[in-house]
A and B are shown apart, each in its own frame.
Chain A
Amino acid sequence: DAGVTQSPTHLIKTRGQQVTLRCSPKSGHDTVSWYQQALGQGPQFIFQYYEEEERQRGNFPDRFSGHQFPNYSSELNVNALLLGDSALYLCASSLTSGGPGTGELFFGEGSRLTVL
């Protein structure tokens, strides 16, 4: 049983560029959440997708957007990259249970983004 998979694992971009990160949830899970983990910090919630719609959103600007596909996989897009966007981006899947903080989250290994 495949767990949560993310791609790419590492990538380097320059300021002002755009990036797309991808996530496939654990088999049987229908909800995907995205987190940003800066170096030395805990993960911060970006947003959650369920039924192809954004259901919850953390304190992130509109430059951060996402999408969920009918097969429950998801993308995170970040436009107009800033140096401060350099971080590990984590995807987590779960079964719908009322919100991203109510049940167990299954995390992928992350996509490490470096912005130069």
Chain B
Amino acid sequence: AQSVTQLDSHVSVSEGTPVLLRCNYSSSYSPSLFWYVQHPNKGLQLLLKYTSAATLVKGINGFEAEFKKSETSFHLTKPSAHMSDAAEYFCVVSDASGGSYIPTFGRGTSLIVHP
């Protein structure tokens, strides 16, 4: 069975400093991994996805994530935080367990950006 753990429920950074949101996954198959962002009162938006191509994945708004199979991690990073990055971030894993690709979402990490 697949599972995903977001290691921090809240991350607080100052504007202009780096962002690191941590995600560990468990999967018996070759997983697809995603990061979604949810701004208040908005739907979720895809930031980036990994589907067995390059291990370093670049997404929108300057975010990127690195797939590390040995560490079963897919951490999300950004070199410099902006006030508009304040939102809820979800790591998602999906594999063929059970014969179908049903996504499992993490519990989310709330990113707080201070001026």
Contacts and interface: CB of A to CB of B under 8 A. Distances in A.
B106 A42 contact: yes
Contact of A45 (B43, B103, B107): B103
Contacts, number: 60
Given A40-B107, A45-B103, A56-B100, A101 B45 contact: no
B90 interface: yes
A105 to B, nearest CB: 7
By size class, the interface of chain A is 20 to 34
Contacts of B41: 109
A51 interface: no
A109 B43 contact: yes
B92 interface: yes
Contacts of A100: 94, 101-103
Interface in A58-86: 58
B11 interface: no
Contact of A43 (B45, B95, B101, B105): B105
B56 interface: no
Given A42-B107, A56-B102, A107-B44, 10 more contacts: A3-B43, A40-B107, A42-B108, A58-B102, A101-B92, A101-B102, A101-B103, A102-B32, A106-B43, A109-B42
